[in-house]
Structure 1
Amino acid sequence: MKRVLVLGSTGSIGESTLKVVEAFPEEFKVVGLVAGRNRDSLLSQSKKFKPEAVALFEGELPNNLPFKAFTGIEGIRRLIEELDFDVCVAAISGSAGILPTYWAARKGKRLALANKEALVCAGPFVKSVSREIIPVDSEHSAIFQCLNGERRESVEEIILTASGGPFREREDLDKVKPEEALKHPNWNMGKKVTIDSATLMNKGLEVIEAYWLFGFPLEKIKAVIHPQSIVHSMVRFVDGSVISQMGVPDMKIPIVYALSYPERLPLGEKFPSLNLHFSGLKLDFYEPDTGKFPCLKLAYESLERGYPYPIVLNAADEVAVELFLKGKIKFTQIPVLIEEVLERSNFPKPESIEDVVEVDRRAKELAWKVARKWL
């Protein structure tokens, strides 16, 4: 039985992970839960799964709990270092997950990675201390599966698919409201990643994540629009063959794969709705429109410019999305803000994980400064 630590247990990926664990009690046991600020949900999860330790980043926990309880970022570090686990699901959203993901990777256990920012911002450092990373992002899980058993020199390119979000055919993007952007046509996700999907920034961040995960040059990492979200990604080989991984758009599928690899568990028996039916199935593919959705292009450019520009890209995007969700800037101003922050930044290359956090902090300060003209 695998002992599972869940970072970000009250978020979308964390909750899906707990559903998978609950479906396979003979395979997995939750031994640790870490949440941001949702105290009540964390305590409810703790009562149900009976972990050995929990941590809450922001707020206080009751005294006399029947397990170890930690608070704050230092408390999260202590939990990770003291807890005995076999696999860590790293699902804290955004740059807040960088340090906890790094600490978990440093333990030398399996990292089931859902927090893409950990690699976007700290790829060299997370990779250097990791023993094993199994991606949870559906696209990277798909690439991982397509590459399994293949020779690297046989790969022509890897192709990440994107739904295109809810506005692929919409023209008046300057009139998009936050509540509209939060209605993803296929996936049920957190607010930040849902907005990123609408701007195509999510795909841009995934391109950078793929660069660090799989080690292929940037020119071999492509993105394509696939509105149905059935083909999660593909690998094209030098002989002209293309291998894809398909499935319904539900994160429980890549989660159970990351937890159980190299075995495959009968998830379809537990959740019949996850079985893919082919009758009448339609699969469309289009080239992304980076003129209409420039965030994808900005992500490629940030990686081409080198480290630490991906950190700046991500930091500026987090600020821009926050402002958009609060109704302070327009949907079309998100890439404008990000591009200006990239142009005005001049931060040194990080030499440590602490430097990464500092660049992230300073880049966000710059983003807020740039945004003042719209506030």
Structure 2
Amino acid sequence: MKTLAIIGSTGSIGNSALKVYKNHKKKFKLIYLCANSNIAKLSKQIKEFKPQNAFLLDDKKIPKNKNLKLLNKNYALRYKQKKIDYVISGVSGYDSLNINLKLVRISKNLLIANKETIICGSNYFLDYAKKNNCNIIPIDSEHYCLNFFIKNFNIQNLIDEVYLVASGGPFLEKKIRYNENVKNVISHPTWKMGKKISVDSSTFANKILELFEAKILFKLNKNKIKILIEKKSNVHAIIKLKNNLYFPIMHKPNMIIAISNSLNVTNYFKMQLENLKIFFKEPDLKKFPIIKLGYKILRNYNNAGALLFTVINQRLVELYLKGKINYGEISHILVKVFKQKKLINLSRKKLNNLNDINRLIEFGQELKL
């Protein structure tokens, strides 16, 4: 029986992970359930799934209810403990880097859906995981597909180009209003996700983050990673080899597939191939200006530029969700700040250690927008 922990259990990734666990309880011992602050939902999960222990990432939200026993976060994430076979990290945002750095110390395999950690931590994070004998398994659909294909078919040296495939979001075939309301923005046509990632999907910021992540994870040529649109989300990535063979990687648009396969258990989401129609198109760079900016950062700057994009974009999305800026200002401000000379210079900087990373994150947090 393998040991399992689910960090961010009350979010969309956590919910999918618990569905997988529910179908394969005999194969796993559930060591931890962990939420950020949603104590009500975590309490229900504890009653239903009966983990060995549970804890909150937000210490300020720990309840005084004596009937609900939660571990201290620092104790749960202590370095000197027996490694957990599989830890699923569904925490969100760039500020999850520090949590994920702690998780690699207690994990044999870290299943991670947090692209911001890969982008901000970049090679430092991957090297730290390797030092701690932790295998990083990306479970975003695009990166899971690439990771599976590259590792199992040993084709790294044969790859010419990689296409990450987007659905196009809610506005692919609709006019975008500058003051678009939140309900329309987060109405994703094929995926059920949290608010922040849904906003990112609508602007294509999410796909740009995925480009950055793919470059870091798979050491891909920065000029050979592109975006295509397939609005049904049946195809998640396409690998083009140097001999002009193309390999589209397909599966039903459901996170349970990547999580199940990464845990080495079965899933039952077969695709209906009969009469399946798939059409690809390139994204409209004028309609979605964040794509053009993302390509520029990817091809002209170091990982520092990707980090700054990540931090500033998250700030803007949070301001929009709080009603402090209009929807159209997300793209407008993001493109505008990347014209600043100081920011451009910092984007070319090489990040050598965690101090460099944290200082640049702080700059992005304090930059006047």
Asked if Structure 1 and Structure 2 have the same fold, meaning a TM-score greater than 0.5 normalized by the shorter chain, the answer is yes
Distance 1:23 1:329 in 2: 43
Partner of 2:126 in structure 1? 127
Cα offset, 1:67, TM superposition: 6.2
Q: Which residue of 2 aligns with 1:177?
A: 181
Relative to structure 1, the CA distance from residue 81 to residue 185 in structure 2 (aligned partners, 3 Å threshold; closer, same or farther) is farther
SS of equivalent to 1:207: helix
| Counterpart AA for 2:305 | Y
Secondary structure at the counterpart of residue 160 of structure 1: strand
In the TM superposition, structure 1's runs of 4+ consecutive aligned residues that sit over 6 Å from their partners are none
Instruction: Indicate the residue corresponding to 1:244 in structure 2.
Output: 248
Q: Per-residue displacement from partner, 1:80-137 (whole Å, max 9, x unpaired)?
A: 7646411111110111321111222234611111111111111111110223221100
Once structures 1 and 2 are overlaid, which stretch shifts more, 13-22 or 275-284? Answer: 275-284
RMSD: 2.1
2:117 aligned partner, one-letter code = A
User: Which of 321, 336, 350 pairs up with 2:317?
Assistant: 321
Q: Residue 111 of structure 1 aligns to which amino acid in structure 2?
A: L
User: How many aligned positions are there?
Assistant: 356
User: In structure 2, what is the Cα distance between the partners aligned to 1:311 and 1:174?
Assistant: 26
Q: Which residue of 2 aligns with 1:308?
A: 304
CA distance in 1: counterparts of 2:252 and 2:324, whole angstroms? 35
Fraction of identical pairs, as percent: 32
CA distance in 1, matches of 2:283, 2:75: 43
* Structure-2 change in CA distance of 1:38 and 1:152 (3 Å): same
| 1:329 to partner: Cα distance | 2.0
Distance in 1 (CA, whole Å) between partners of 2:37 and 2:317 is: 19
Q: Does the alignment pair 1:60 with 2:62?
A: yes
Instruction: Tell me the equivalent position of 1:291.
Output: 286
Counterpart CA distance in 2 for 1:319 and 1:120 is 16
Partner residue in 1 for 2:103: 104
Q: Determine the C-alpha separation between the residues in 1 that align with 2:56 and 2:322.
A: 25
Distance in 2, Cα, partners of 1:37 & 1:81: 25
* Contact 1:88 1:111 (C-alpha < 8 Å) held by counterparts: yes
Residue by residue over 1:135-164, the C-alpha shift from the partner in whole angstroms, topping out at 9 and shown as x without a partner, is: 100011111222222322211111110001
| Contact 2:31-2:52 at 8 Å conserved across structures | yes
Give the TM-score normalised by the residue count of structure 1: 0.88
Residues 1:70 and 2:72 aligned together: yes
Segments of structure 1 that go 5 or more residues without pairing to the other structure are 269-273, 371-375
1:316 partner letter: I
Counterpart of 1:60, as a letter, is I
Are 2:229 and 2:283, in contact at CA under 8 Å, matched by a contact in 1? yes
Cα distance change on mapping 1:45 and 1:108 into 2, 3 Å: closer
1:163 matched to which residue of 2?
A: 167
**Offset of residue 48 of structure 1:** 2.4
Residue 171 (structure 1) shift: 2.7
Separation of aligned partners in 1, 2:331 and 2:77? 34
Q: Equivalents in 2 of 1:308, 1:83: separation in Å? A: 35
Contact 1:175 1:331 in 2 (8 A): yes
Q: How far is the alpha carbon of 1:362 from its aligned partner?
A: 2.8
Match of 1:46 in 2: 46
**How many angstroms apart in 2 are the aligned matches of 1:41 and 1:149?**
41
| Distance 1:65-1:162 versus aligned 2 partners, 3 A rule | same
Describe the shift of the 1:128–1:256 C-alpha distance in structure 2 as closer, same or farther (beyond 3 A).
same
**2:55 and 2:71 in contact (8 A); partners too:** yes
Spell out the pairing of 1:88-103 with structure 2 (5 A cutoff): 88-103=87-102
> Structure 2: how far apart are the matches of 1:113 and 1:106?
14
After TM superposition, list the pairs within 5 Å mapping 1:336-355 onto structure 2.
Answer: 336-344=332-340, 345=343, 347=346, 349-355=350-356
TM value normalised by structure 2: 0.90
Instruction: Report the CA distance between 1:245 and its aligned residue.
Output: 2.0
The within-5 A match list for 1:243-262 is 243-260=247-264
Distance 1:97 1:302 in 2: 22
- Aligned twin of 1:5: 5
Contact 2:43–2:68 (Cα < 8 Å) also in 1: no
1:75 and 1:334, CA in 2 relative to 1: closer, same or farther beyond 3 A?
Answer: farther
How far off its partner does 1:361 sit?
3.1
- Work out the CA distance in 1 between the residues paired with 2:215 and 2:279: 25
Greater Cα shift, 106-115 or 162-171: 106-115
Residue 205, structure 1, aligned to residue 220, structure 2: no
Q: For residue 15 of structure 1, report the CA deviation from its aligned partner.
A: 1.0
